[in-house]
Amino acid sequence: MSDHKVYYNYIGGEWVPARSGKTYENRNPADTRDVIGIFPDSGAEDIADAVAAAKEAYNAWRLVPAPKRGELLYRASQILQERKEQYANDMTREMGKVLAETRGDVQEAIDMGYFMAGEGRRLYGVTTPSELPNKFQMSVRQPLGVCGLITPWNFPMAIPSWKIFPALICGNTVVIKPAEDTPLSTYNFVQALVDAGLPKGVVNIVSGHGPTAGEPLVQHPDVKVISFTGSTEVGRHVSTLCAQQGKHVSLEMGGKNPMIIMDDADLDLVLAGAVWGAFGTTGQRCTATSRIIAHRAIVDELTSRIQAEAKTIQVGNGLVDGMQMGPSINQGQLSVVEKYVKIGREEGAELVLGGERLTDGDLGHGFFHQPTIFGNVKRNMRIAQEEIFGPVVSIIPVDSLEEAIDVANDVPYGLSSSIYTRNVNNAFIAMRDLYTGIVYVNAPTIGAEIHLPFGGTKGTGNGKREGGTQVLDTYSEWKSLYVDYSGGLQRAQIDNAE
Ligand code: UN1
């Protein structure tokens, strides 16, 4: 059909096409004339094959000592490190964000690999004293079996690594369905594991679309855990399906992350942080700064300075030197951005900067949009309440810290938040009262590190966390072990003298 590179699913240690033979084209969002490759458009039968392979592999993998499993992760991380530049290039072509950021995405996967490799030598359990003499007891982590992982396009290597590495270290096997827009980056990640000596069937990758490949994975009775990162709408659907089957599920969904700027803040610092938080990754992070809640005493100065700074952002193909902001991932996402710009105007917010698609020259072949700032935004406007996932930020004036925190918390999401202040009391009050899974002081809402728990409250999640050792709770179950070495029957909760 064409001379584009053809990719296959990886199932049971073999690279195989979709059983139906269906494929789809993966194109560069910065220039849709550029085809990245042809990928399998998989269905329920491919998912069934992958789950069967993972189930088979589980029998041996769960018995491999955890430190040995850790060595595989360590080797894979070394390979990722060696290939960092190549994989970052592939990712920029596939996903659009600029090279500095795709290098960061690969780095985040490397960090997660080394962290979880070390966990192979810990996987701590707990010993607890008994109520009875001559009795020993402890609790240990047990793997669950086959894990189904569904990952988004915005961090196409880091987010798979947050799921695959902890799943493996706990002794599970996995089937991953990467976002249809970014399969290559996840294939690259799996290739590093394969080259590190991954046993057959321990990790299987099946590409395709949500309804046709993702849903059968969620529904498959042999899949014991689902870990999903994506929109709140789809996450809620996934959660319902899992509830019907009593399946474990971890959800990471949307955000509407606030940055509070107090009147005593260092505005130079704020400027750099706000522009990076709002327009880094084209605003396509669930942690992106999408509301700037600023004290009225400084809001005018701040607005004009952010406008001047954001105006200088170089928008273009992320592979070109000097570019700072790439395209939206696809036409659908660009349309969402355009829709919210229109909504913001209709709601009476003041368009301070941007608001237009960029189509000059080669930009017309991609999904580029200007960095966009709305000023004088009211807390209840849709642009201040709903996740946009694009380069659009709303500035909301407030009169006090109390009001700022109230506005910050008054959205359906709770992933990340931040406060800029020189007053230590303000900082501690904000850390206590901002109802989000992550709070930053004098830093923007993006940039979480993998060895701390990552996740959010309310519509952002379901109480689970990725990152940190807390992530192990998604991929293991606690088993309590009691050993009675008294030589007689000791009855718990009963006076044995009776
Ligand atoms: C995401 O936006 O989906 O904290 C993940 C951050 C990155 C991860 C973002 N380390 O911004």
Distance CA 48, CA 214 (A): 12
Cα–Cα nearest to 278, from 343, 353, 330: 353
Structure confidence at residue 3 (pLDDT) = 81
Does residue 55 sit within a domain? Answer: yes
Question: Catalytic residue at 387?
Answer: no
The answer to whether residues 313 and 208 belong to one domain is: no
Catalytic residue among 252, 338, 387, 466: 252
Residue 435, both tokens = 């109802």
Kindly list the strands in the beta sheet with 477-484, ordered across the sheet, starting from the edge strand earlier in the chain: 126-127, 135-142, 477-484
The closest-lying atom of ligand 1 relative to the alpha carbon of residue 252 is 3
User: Do residue 203 and residue 83 come from a single domain?
Assistant: yes
Ligand 1 center from residue 6 Cα (angstroms): 30
Ligand 1 center to residue 448 CA distance, Å?
A: 6
- Which amino acid is residue 180, in one-letter code? E
How many structural domains is the chain composed of?
Answer: 2
Q: How far apart are CA 17 and CA 29, in angstroms?
A: 25
Do residue 185 and residue 281 come from a single domain?
no
pTM exceeds 0.90 = yes
446 close to ligand 1 (CB < 6 Angstrom): yes
139 located within any domain: yes
Does one domain contain both 200 and 233?
A: yes
Q: Can you give the pLDDT at residue 496?
A: 80
Say yes or no: CB of residue 253 within 6 Å of ligand 1: no
When pLDDT is averaged across residues 442-462 and rounded to a whole number, the result is: 98
Which residues, at least 6 apart from 466, have a Cβ–Cβ distance to it below 8 Å?
A: 162, 163, 227, 229, 250, 252, 453, 454, 455, 474
User: Would you say residue 389 lies in a domain?
Assistant: yes
**DSSP alpha helix (H) spans, 222-280:** 232-245, 267-279
Is the CB of residue 120 less than 8 Å from the CB of residue 61? no
Residues 36 and 77 in one domain: yes
How many angstroms does the Cα of residue 162 sit away from the middle of ligand 1?
A: 11
Which whole number is the average pLDDT over 350-358?
A: 98
Q: Which atom of ligand 1 is nearest to the CA of 229?
A: 3
Is residue 455 in some structural domain?
A: no
From 446, 450, 460, 465, give the residue whose CB has the most ligand 1 atoms within 8 Å, as the site to mutate.
446
Query: 94 and 150: one domain?
Result: yes
Token pair in block for residue 149 = 């992982």
For residue 20, being part of any structural domain is answered with yes
Q: Give the model's pLDDT for residue 199.
A: 98
Query: Which ligand 1 atom is the nearest neighbour of the CA of 287?
Result: 2
The two beta strands, 477-484 and 135-142, are: antiparallel
75 lines ligand 1 (CB under 6 A): no
Residues 145 and 291 in one domain: no
d(CA 106, CA 237): 30
Instruction: Please report whether residue 493 resides in a domain.
Output: no
Percent of the chain with pLDDT strictly greater than 70: 100
- The verdict on 210 and 326 lying in the same domain is no
pLDDT band at residue 474 under the 50/70/90 scheme: very high
> Does residue 488 fall inside a structural domain?
no
Kindly give the distance from the C-alpha atom of residue 70 to the centroid of ligand 1, in angstroms, as a whole number.
Answer: 24
pLDDT for 29 beyond 90: yes
Question: Is the minimum distance from the CB of 287 to ligand 1 under 6 angstroms?
Answer: yes
**pLDDT score of 372:** 98
Q: Tens digit of pLDDT for each residue in 71-90?
A: 999 999 999 999 999 999 99
Q: Which atom of ligand 1 is nearest to the CA of 108?
A: 10
Domain with 50 in it: 9-253+461-480
pLDDT of residue 497: 79
Tell me the pLDDT band of 67, cut-offs 50, 70 and 90. very high
> Which pLDDT belongs to residue 259?
98
Whether 42 is in the pocket of ligand 1, judged by its Cβ within 6 Å, is: no
Q: CB of 52 closer than 6 A to ligand 1? A: no
Q: Which helix (H) or strand (E) holds 147?
A: strand 146-150
Query: Is residue 448 lining ligand 1, measured as CB closer than 6 Å?
Result: yes
What's the pLDDT tens digit per position in 271-298?
999 999 999 999 999 999 999 999 999 9
Confidence of residue 395 (pLDDT cuts 50, 70, 90): very high
Is there a single domain that holds both residue 40 and residue 162? Answer: yes
Q: Is 388 in the pocket of ligand 1 (CB under 6 A)?
A: no
- At 172-222, the pLDDT tens digits run 999 999 999 999 999 999 999 999 999 999 999 999 999 999 999 999 999
pLDDT recorded at residue 2: 64
Beta bridge partners of 23: 40
pLDDT at 491 over 80: yes
- 175, 180, 184, 186 alpha-carbon torsion, rounded to 10°: -40
Whether 104 lines ligand 1, by a CB cut-off of 6 Å, is no
Average pLDDT over residues 120-148: 98
Q: Same domain, yes or no, for 232 and 265?
A: no
Cβ of 285 below 6 Å from ligand 1: yes
Structure token pair of residue 322: 């000097």
pLDDT, tens digit (0-9, with 9 covering 90-100), for 293-351: 999 999 999 999 999 999 999 999 999 999 999 999 999 999 999 999 999 999 999 99
Distance between Cα 14 and ligand 1 center (Å): 32
461 C-alpha to ligand 1 centroid (Å):
14
Atom 6 of ligand 1, residue of closest alpha carbon: 447
- 87 alpha carbon – ligand 1 mean position (Å): 18
CATH classification of the domain holding 122: 3.40.605.10
For 366-382, write each residue's pLDDT tens digit: 999 999 999 999 999 99
Give just the sign of the alpha carbon dihedral 489, 494, 495, 498. Answer: negative
**Mean pLDDT across the chain, nearest whole number?**
97
Atom of ligand 1 nearest to the CA of 454: 4
Of 384 and 2, the structure prediction assigns the larger pLDDT to 384
Is residue 352 in some structural domain? yes
Q: What is the CATH number of the domain that holds 356?
A: 3.40.309.10
CA of 416 to the centre of ligand 1 (A): 10
Share of the chain above pLDDT 90, in %: 98
Average pLDDT over residues 382-411: 98
Query: What average pLDDT does range 141-166 have in this prediction?
Result: 98
Same domain, 278 and 243: no
Cβ partners under 8 Å of residue 404, min gap 6: 260, 262, 293, 295, 398, 419
- 177 shares a domain with 280: no
- State which of 285, 290, 454, 466 you would mutate to test the pocket of ligand 1, scoring each by most atoms of that ligand within 8 A of its C-beta: 285
